Amino acid sequence: MPLLEVKNLKTYYYTLRGVVKAVDDVSFTLEKGEVLGLAGESGCGKSTVAWSLLGMPPSPGRIAGGHIYLHDDEAGETYDIANMAEEELRSKVRWRKISMVFQGAMNALTPVHRVGDQIAEPLILHAGMTKEEAMNRVVELLNMVGLDDTIAMRYPHELSGGQKQRVVIAMALALDPDIVIADEPTTALDVVVQAQILNLMKELQWKKKRSIILITHDLSIIAELADKVAIMYAGKIVEIGPSSEIFNNPQHPYTQLLLKAIPRLRGPIDKLAYIPGTPPDLMSPPPGCRFYPRCPYAMDVCMREEPEMVEVGKDHYVACWLHSKR
Ligand code: SF4
């Protein structure tokens, strides 16, 4: 049984202008110890998936359908996050089983509180620790992410970008969750610090057999860490499979174009590809395949009917009429 099973998830934003179908029928699984990379251009629904997994899509968003099954080995129970009461989510799932490394460390930290107090807060509130027990755990967590104890007494503005990002990772690990979602964890960091943070995440995942969902628009980061990759376009997963398959044998035209847009240091210097056009308005997405206005292989059927996911290799699935039977 997978640790997490997302089935036909729909998360919509109910705005005054209409309903934005940000995540529209998304399904995937995550095994214990697996790193899943969720990639796609900005606005494709990656972050909405992340927030939905915590049962808290940003307002005016709501989970409109589907299931998010989380298997809790310790309790011997399976929860459906998509259909759980808020109180139960807070006491059983959020931060304890699934936590999140937020996008942009500075936004995740409160400037007026010391770092140690901020890491201690969920330990006191959610794990019922005393202040002293919480501070001992704070030191343990800081050391785990490669920071020394004195950082606990500092304010966020006294830390470098890399140190702040480590603190945010320590916060996400506070209650020892089974799954950590990292949303653009290295955005705004220079390449050296970026590499350090990725190494840290690899180490933390490997030591505890923790599962990670890594969300980024940067496929080179996913190539470093992920076992499995899901490519999202306009609120849907269009291709999913083992990392080696996605990077060496991509089957969806969108994936192929995304990969061509990664700069390479080795090999012949090619002109970087770009994907002409923009993703559709998710308030009124086109019928059929949502990629057809930008797809170099678009056919008549693509404009009329939505392609279903088909298996094109071991555990490798793609939604494209080039592979589906008509
Ligand atoms: Fe292109 Fe058609 Fe495949 Fe969509 S279904 S990606 S439009 S070939």
pLDDT tens for residues 54-71?
A: 999 999 999 999 999 999
Tell me which DSSP letter residue 97 carries: T
> Phi and psi dihedrals of 242, rounded to 5?
-60, 145
Residue ranges of domains in the chain? 1-97+216-326
Class of domain 1-97+216-326: alpha beta
pLDDT tier, 47 (very low <50, low <70, confident <90, very high otherwise)? very high
Buried b (16+ CB within 10 A) or exposed e, 247-265: beebbbbbbebbbeeeeee
**Mean pLDDT (the chain, rounded):** 91
Tell me which DSSP letter residue 92 carries: I
What's the pLDDT at 51?
A: 95
What's the pLDDT at 32?
A: 93
Expressed in angstroms and rounded, the spacing between residue 63 Cα and the centre of ligand 1 is 28
What's the pLDDT at 265?
A: 54
What pTM does this model have?
Answer: 0.91
Q: Is the dihedral of CA 308, 27, 102, 15 positive or negative?
A: positive
Write out the two tokens for 88: 């139960």
Helix axes 131-144, 115-127, angle to 10 degrees: 120
Q: Is the dihedral of CA 67, 71, 72, 77 positive or negative?
A: positive
What's the pLDDT at 269?
A: 53
Expressed in angstroms and rounded, the spacing between residue 302 Cα and the centre of ligand 1 is 6
Residue type, 143: N
Highest mean pLDDT among 124-128, 270-274, 322-326: 124-128
Alpha-carbon distance of 71 to 93, in angstroms, equals: 10
Terminal C-alpha separation, the chain: 33
In the chain, % of residues over pLDDT 70: 95
Per the DSSP assignment, residues forming a β-bridge with 14 are 19
- Residue 301 alpha carbon, nearest atom of ligand 1: 2
| Three-state secondary structure readout of 186-214 | CCCCCHHHHHHHHHHHHHHHHHHCCEEEE
Write out the two tokens for 84: 């759980």
Ligand 1, residues at Cβ distance < 6 Å: 252-253, 289, 291-292, 295, 297-299, 302, 307, 320-322
Residues 6+ apart with CB under 8 A from 312: 251, 318, 323
Contact 79, 72 (CB under 8 A): yes
Strand (E) or helix (H) holding 305: none
Residue of 257, 300, 322, 324 to test ligand 1 pocket, by largest number of atoms within 8 Å of CB:
322
Strand (E) or helix (H) holding 302: helix 300-304
